[in-house]
């Protein structure tokens, strides 16, 4: 009897509500419609902050960011510089397909984010974003890559969307089409596989631009149609083996009403010091009067005239006199640090001798943030917490753990890159009308299993549950370090 096959399809940034709205708008997404009708579809909880790097790493390893050690794309070192976390396959924990190969199963893995370079395994591996270049195993796969015109991503999505959004969407659809073509070719050329894993990332790029616009369904339709084509092919593939199909995302998406400039607010309230000059105030007035469409020009001018001491997010910051600052990636949740003795030039007194003072500082800062309201009276910040001990085990010796994790209310995103002396809450930029949130999607279809049909999944499953579920599907023991969900 042929062994059961499992196909896991990752859609970066997909959410249940996005699939539902697309199905209401279009009749041609037959793969998604079948998955929802004959299988089960519901919500999937991401990591916090809901960023692709730590979320996909949790999908592969079955553990949270505090254990696999990737909590963002970059970390803050004690010299205040941003440094990359590196790739998840550089960490000591094995990835789920490594465990399957060790058990004698053959795997095909295409575009897993945060995995680079491709390495030897029993099957096929095509490296994922944000690797510096495409890497494949085995080498004979290169012919299929050339034949399908496969590529990882479009160049600089933000700039592409700012120049010509329609063209950027067409290119992202082409990237998705090529990925589907390569995946189908791999299915047919390496026919004895047991486990197939693929991630589509063009959805995330497109949704940053599209979600929140009146015609977002139209803007995303072509990309999702290509993914639907692979869904239909996957149903055919698992039919003969009584296999299963799993749809998973790393996080969800939400429309953005306003962007909260965290470091601008910290500057305006005396927590962050910056060496600003008249051009900052001119840019700030320009942004306030003319709105987000000036962001492209403002960004270019800032890069020309700012000192760029510490990379994006820290231009013109005076860390010698800064008490608190936010850093990392823009999202609905960001990290905030106090400048204490863990840094090379602490603005606060010794952390151990001044613990009470620092505790008061954190409470004061948290209180001011939690009391923030928009001009419409909406509460801006939903939650502020201190990272758990497990989250602080970052796995990077030089990483400085944040003191606070700040989460915005739904409909708002937090920017850590801009220091604006006059504005702290602005309209969304041309590119980022949509932003990550913590609720993604999980879909399951099991061939020949009527139990799951039409069942709705409650919003309790997490990205860390995916790897243990894959192990159980193949009747393999779940490693002790994995979450049991």
The answer on pLDDT for 342 being more than 80 is: yes
- Domains of the chain, with CATH numbers? 6-254+435-473 (3.40.720.10), 258-427 (no CATH)
Query: What three-state secondary structure class fits 188?
Result: helix
Q: Residue 311 — pLDDT band, cuts 50, 70, 90?
A: very low
Integer Cα distance of 456 and 43 in angstroms:
9
Integer Cα distance of 84 and 131 in angstroms:
12
Which of 253, 296, 302 has its CA nearest to residue 439?
253
Q: Residue 310 — pLDDT band, cuts 50, 70, 90?
A: very low
For 144-169, what is the mean pLDDT? 91
Q: Residue 299 — pLDDT band, cuts 50, 70, 90?
A: low
Which of 382, 416, 383 has its CA nearest to residue 73?
416
Please, are residues 406 and 336 in contact by the beta-carbon 8 Å criterion? Answer: yes
| Alpha-carbon distance values, 334 to 36, 106, 393, 446 (Å) | 33, 39, 18, 38
Residues with Cβ < 8 Å from 476, sequence gap 6 or more? 99, 100, 103
pLDDT of residue 74: 84
Strands (E), 49-116: 74-76, 82-84, 107-110
For 414-432, what is the mean pLDDT? 82
- For the ranges 127-141, 208-222, 248-262, 347-361, the lowest mean pLDDT is seen at 347-361
- The more confident residue out of 457 and 133 is 133
For 9-37, what is the mean pLDDT? 97
- For the ranges 42-56, 102-116, 312-326, 442-456, the lowest mean pLDDT is seen at 442-456
> Percentage of the chain surpassing pLDDT 70?
86
The answer on pLDDT for 105 being more than 50 is: yes
Integer Cα distance of 287 and 419 in angstroms:
12
pLDDT of residue 456: 54
| Alpha-carbon distance values, 473 to 8, 56, 351, 360, 444 (Å) | 12, 20, 49, 50, 12
| Alpha carbon distance, N-terminus to C-terminus of the chain | 30
Computed over its alpha carbons, how large is the radius of gyration of the chain? 23
For 22-42, what is the mean pLDDT? 95
Integer Cα distance of 95 and 162 in angstroms:
37
Cross-strand bridge partners of residue 445: 245
Which of 203, 186, 208, 206 has its CA nearest to residue 248?
203
Q: Which three-class secondary structure string do you get for 21-36?
A: HHHHHCCCCHHHHHHH
Please, are residues 161 and 170 in contact by the beta-carbon 8 Å criterion? Answer: no
Integer Cα distance of 401 and 11 in angstroms:
30
Which stretch, 340-349, 394-403, 447-456, has highest mean pLDDT?
340-349
Q: Residue 387 — pLDDT band, cuts 50, 70, 90?
A: confident
pLDDT of residue 1: 42
Angle between helices 165-189 and 141-148 (to 10 degrees): 140
pLDDT of residue 348: 75
Torsion angles phi and psi, residue 28, rounded to 5: -90, 0
Please, are residues 97 and 105 in contact by the beta-carbon 8 Å criterion? Answer: no
Q: Residue 453 — pLDDT band, cuts 50, 70, 90?
A: very low
Angle between helices 466-473 and 52-61 (to 10 degrees): 30
The answer on pLDDT for 429 being more than 90 is: no
pLDDT of residue 298: 53
Which of 20, 97, 6 has its CA nearest to residue 56?
97
pLDDT of residue 483: 57
Stretch (H or E) spanning 197: strand 195-200
Q: Residue 79 — pLDDT band, cuts 50, 70, 90?
A: confident
Other beta carbons within 10 angstroms of residue 211's beta carbon come to: 22
Say if residue 230 is preceded by a cis peptide, omega within 30 of 0. no
Please give the angle made by the CA atoms of 98, 104 and 109, to the nearest 5 degrees: 40
Integer Cα distance of 356 and 348 in angstroms:
12
Say if residue 60 is preceded by a cis peptide, omega within 30 of 0. no
pLDDT of residue 327: 87
Cα torsion 267, 269, 272, 277: sign? positive
Q: Residue 297 — pLDDT band, cuts 50, 70, 90?
A: low
Bridge-based pairing state of the strands 412-415 and 258-261: parallel
Which stretch, 97-101, 132-136, 186-190, has highest mean pLDDT?
97-101
The answer on pLDDT for 242 being more than 90 is: no
- For the ranges 29-38, 98-107, 277-286, 391-400, the lowest mean pLDDT is seen at 391-400
Q: Which long-range contacts (CB under 8 A, 24 or more apart) does 340-348 make?
A: 342/78, 342/400, 343/78, 343/79, 343/80, 343/319, 343/400, 344/78, 344/79, 344/80, 345/80, 345/319, 345/320, 347/273, 347/319, 347/320, 347/321, 347/322, 347/323, 348/323
Please, are residues 6 and 475 in contact by the beta-carbon 8 Å criterion? Answer: no
pLDDT of residue 301: 52
Whole-number average pLDDT of the chain: 86
Could you tell me the pTM of the whole model? 0.90
For 2-24, what is the mean pLDDT? 95
pLDDT of residue 458: 47
- For the ranges 112-121, 178-187, 201-210, 391-400, the lowest mean pLDDT is seen at 391-400
- Dump pLDDT digits (tens) for 161-171: 888 999 999 99
- For the ranges 5-19, 150-164, 399-413, 419-433, the lowest mean pLDDT is seen at 419-433
| Alpha-carbon distance values, 133 to 108, 129, 367 (Å) | 19, 9, 45
- Dump pLDDT digits (tens) for 458-479: 434 899 999 999 999 999 999 9
């Amino acid at each position: 009897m042929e062994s059961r096959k499992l196909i896991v399809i990752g859609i970066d940034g997909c959410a249940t509500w996005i699939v539902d709205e697309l199905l209401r708008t279009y009749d041609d997404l037959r793969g998604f419609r079948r998955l929802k009708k004959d299988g089960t579809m519901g919500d999937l909880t991401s990591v916090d902050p809901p960023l692709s790097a730590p979320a996909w790493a949790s999908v592969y390893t079955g553990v949270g960011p505090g254990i696999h050690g990737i909590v963002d794309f970059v970390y803050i070192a004690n010299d205040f510089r941003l440094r990359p976390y590196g790739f998840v396959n550089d960490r000591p924990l094995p990835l789920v397909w490594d465990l399957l190969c060790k058990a004698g199963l053959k795997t095909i893995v295409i575009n897993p984010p945060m995995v680079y370079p491709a390495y030897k395994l029993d099957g096929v591996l095509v490296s994922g974003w944000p690797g510096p270049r495409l890497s494949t195993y085995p080498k004979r796969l290169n012919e299929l890559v050339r034949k399908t015109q496969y590529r990882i991503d479009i160049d600089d999505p933000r700039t592409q969307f700012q120049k010509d959004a329609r063209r950027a969407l067409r290119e992202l659809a082409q990237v998705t089409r090529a990925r589907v073509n390569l995946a189908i070719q791999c299915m047919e050329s390496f026919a004895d596989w047991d486990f197939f894993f693929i991630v589509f990332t063009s959805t995330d790029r497109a949704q940053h631009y599209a979600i929140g616009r009146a015609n977002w369904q139209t803007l995303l339709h072509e990309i999702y149609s290509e993914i639907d084509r692979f869904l239909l092919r996957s149903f055919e593939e698992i039919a003969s083996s009584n296999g299963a199909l799993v749809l998973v995302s790393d996080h969800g998406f939400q429309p953005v009403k306003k962007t909260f400039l965290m470091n601008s607010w910290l500057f305006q309230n005396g927590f962050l010091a910056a060496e600003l000059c008249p051009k900052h105030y001119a840019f700030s007035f320009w942004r306030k009067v003319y709105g987000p469409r000036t962001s492209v020009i403002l960004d270019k001018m800032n890069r020309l005239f700012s000192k760029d001491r510490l990379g994006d997010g820290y231009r013109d910051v005076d860390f010698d006199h800064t008490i608190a600052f936010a850093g990392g990636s823009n999202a609905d949740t960001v990290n905030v640090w106090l400048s204490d003795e863990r840094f090379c030039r602490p603005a606060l007194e010794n952390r151990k001798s001044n613990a009470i003072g620092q505790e008061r500082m954190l409470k004061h800062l948290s209180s001011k943030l939690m009391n923030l309201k928009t001009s419409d009276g909406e509460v801006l910040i939903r939650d502020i917490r201190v990272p758990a001990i497990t989250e602080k085990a970052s796995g990077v010796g030089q990483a400085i753990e944040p003191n606070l994790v700040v989460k915005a209310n739904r409909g708002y995103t937090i920017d850590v890159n801009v220091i604006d002396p006059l504005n702290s809450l602005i309209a969304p930029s041309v590119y980022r009308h949509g932003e990550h949130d913590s609720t993604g999607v999980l879909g399951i279809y099991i061939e020949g299993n009527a139990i799951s049909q039409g069942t709705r999944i409650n919003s309790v499953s997490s990205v860390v549950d995916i790897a243990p579920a894959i192990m159980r599907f193949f009747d393999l023991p779940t490693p002790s370090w994995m979450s049991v969900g």
